[in-house]
Copies of this chain bind each other. A is one copy, B any other.
Amino acid sequence: MMPDRRHFWIWCSALLGSSAVLAAGAEPSAPTAKPVPGMAEILAAAPASAWRPMDDAHTMYLQLPAGRVIIELEPALAPHTVANIEAMVRMHWFDGAAVVRVQDNFVAQWSNPDTTRKLPENLRMLAPEFSAPASAGSFTELPDRDGYAPQVGFINSFPAARDPAIGRVWLAHCYGAVGVGRDNDPATGNGSELYAVIGQAPRWLDRNVTVVGRIRQGIELLASLPRGGGAMGFYATPNENIAISKVAMASDLPAAERTRLEVLRTDTPTYTALVEARRNRTDAWYLRPAGYIDLCSAPLPVRPAP
């Protein structure tokens, strides 16, 4: 903490483990036995089978001025809405799209600001998919209790919740979740207006909106955009909108233009160990392990495909 030393005070990053911290300049701690390996060691030791490739057929790229935002859609839980979005991408509905709203500690939202265009009738209205039958996805439960749902955990590396009393599952509004804006009529959420969570998890939106996926890379490009000065964080004037120069499905691009990523599987012993390493941190910096992790603080690592 002396001002003449390097900065390395807080190393509980969502992405870096203790090895990375040491690399950043911290002195090694005394060589005492470490009861639980940290996140970096767990990831380094993970077998190839602990990872899965992202599915290019359901991966969407948004090209912002600062780079590519990579969204993985999850058709298992919202099949009609995901299909609607992919149809819109392929008919170039999003040509000319822009980020039109950035509300601090809440969402960044994008759409086609040309309000004179009309979506084809068949894409315009569809039944909401706020939740799905529990059989729609394989649910790995997190033992930690949650205030918003009877059970929380993961489906296919997406944060999710489940209510066994009604046999339903749904994707949860965690940081990076991508959802479908709608009007008061639930059938108006067709996917032409999408948002990503860029703040404290707004879990009260769960089951009020169709969640279609998660930003796997590039969320910081949305989260660092200027906040909108209009009501609810909309940009007050069109020239403040942040242009999205291209929206494409990965599978529609030549291989050379795709970003090949892998996602850590949440239904593996590796993931169980990783969550435990975050629930009870053993880095020398920590004096008091939390003994708990909330759903939206559980890391979901992504790496370039080897």
A residues lining the B interface (CB < 8 Å): 1-14, 16, 20-21, 23-27, 29, 100-107, 109, 111-112, 114-119, 124, 130, 144-148, 174-175, 179, 181-186, 188-190, 192-193, 195, 199-209, 219-220, 223-227, 230-234, 278, 281, 284-290, 292-294, 296-297
Tell me the complex Cα distance, A217–B130, Å. Answer: 34
Cβ of B281 and Cβ of A204 under 8 Å apart?
A: yes
A2 near B188: Cβ-Cβ < 8 Å: yes
A208 & B287 in contact (Cβ 8 Å cutoff): yes
Residue of B nearest to A29 (CB): B184
The answer on a CB contact under 8 Å between B109 and A10 is: yes
B233 and A13 contact, CB distance less than 8 A? yes
* Majority-rule SS of A interface residues: loop
A230 to B21, CA, bound (A): 11
12 sample A-B contacts, Cβ–Cβ < 8 Å, listed by A number: A1-B190, A2-B119, A3-B115, A3-B192, A10-B181, A14-B105, A24-B231, A148-B292, A148-B294, A175-B200, A201-B297, A207-B288
Least Cβ distance of A188 to chain B in Å? 3
- Docked Cα-Cα span, A10 to B102, in Å, equals 12
Residues of B within 8 A of A23 (CB): 231
A20 to B96, CA, bound (A): 29
A210 smallest CB distance to B (angstroms): 11
B200, A232: Cβ atoms under 8 Å? no
Q: Which residue from chain B places its CB closest to the CB of A289 in the assembled complex?
A: B204
Whether B232 contacts A10 by the Cβ 8 Å rule is: yes
